[in-house]
Structure 1
Amino acid sequence: MPAPNQAALDFLMTRRSRPAKTLQPPVPNADELRPLLQAAARTPDHGKLEPWRFIVIEQPAMARLSQVVQTRGAALGLDPDQIDKGRAQFDQGLLAVAVIESPKPSEKIPALEQTYSAGAVCLALLNAALASGWGANWLSGWPSHDRGFMTEALGLASHERIAGIIHIATETSAAPERPRPDLDAVTSWVSA
């Protein structure tokens, strides 16, 4: 039997995202954020294509992004509640990392595997932040799926999209526990 890393397993068994609205200053500085990004970049990546990249969103940029959400929501004809919900992560945000899916042409690696890798980066970054003692939350919302927002707010190329926005700051309250999946209900065993 392999030697277990019990501390890592205990962390994974108890990890819990922190509600973004409960995150407060301080936030990690560049030197504190860099190892979290390095940990996230170690994600599974078939073919070593690195089909993702990071955009660090600092607090001064949050107001601009919130305004882009407002403008895009109005242009899309969304109701005010939807617009407000889309703005909230930027109105309240202190520091976030947008994980950008940036697929690479490949005859061997399907685009879907590159999408999976970008999603794995989001989870790896979230877990790295939590394991480092920060509060963190992976958010998306309608702006993350709106091409106009992606282009205007973050300057994404037409082949890129937002895989997730990971907010990182100091947790101010204990994360509420939530029901977890019934493992027997979601697991099948194939033995032959």
Structure 2
Amino acid sequence: MRNGPIPGAHGRVRPLALLHDAVLHEPCREVTDFGPELARLVEDLFATMYAARGVGLAANQIGVAQRVFVYDCPDDEDVRRLGHVVNPRLVETDGVVVRGPEGCLSLPGLEAGTERHDEAVVEGVTVTGEPVTVHGTGFFARCLQHEYDHLEGLLYVDRLTGLRRRRVLRQAAKAPWGRPGHGRVRPDGTR
């Protein structure tokens, strides 16, 4: 049984920004207002992430260019990690670099082997402004780096080179959502 409120239970599911949406390709702004709007944004991020069956979601993926992300992701020990970070800073990456499959809710249905460190540390604050430090290993470290990249205006395809990059971009161009100007879609694929 879970203690406390269920994240996203009061949030609304928002449309997802897709590959060619400009909001995904610019660094996000620092959060300066820690009021009710930020709390609603975090709830909406959780609701949208769960509706899309993701393990992490950054605010710009729902069209909000602010430095916030949420996660519900297992770590290297298969322990569920659940939370959010406002104004995160990736302060450490360590361990070995692992190429593993990586997907993104903004590139639905696609994935590619992407290199990430298998340990990561993110510092930031909570929705109420309390300091938070999040340590991740394995898949959770990948998730932290992936969501942090979003807030810097990067997608995992920006970390790919050569054939892997060309292959994903070719697949995206063939997808119904993969052409510039397609707009945003709901997590269930509808507009």
Relative contact order, CA 8 A, sep 6+: which one is greater? 1
Q: What is the TM-score of this pair, normalised by structure 1?
A: 0.31
The structure with the largest alpha-carbon Rg is 1
Q: What is the TM-score of this pair, normalised by structure 2?
A: 0.31
Task: Choose between structure 1 and 2: higher strand proportion.
Answer: 2
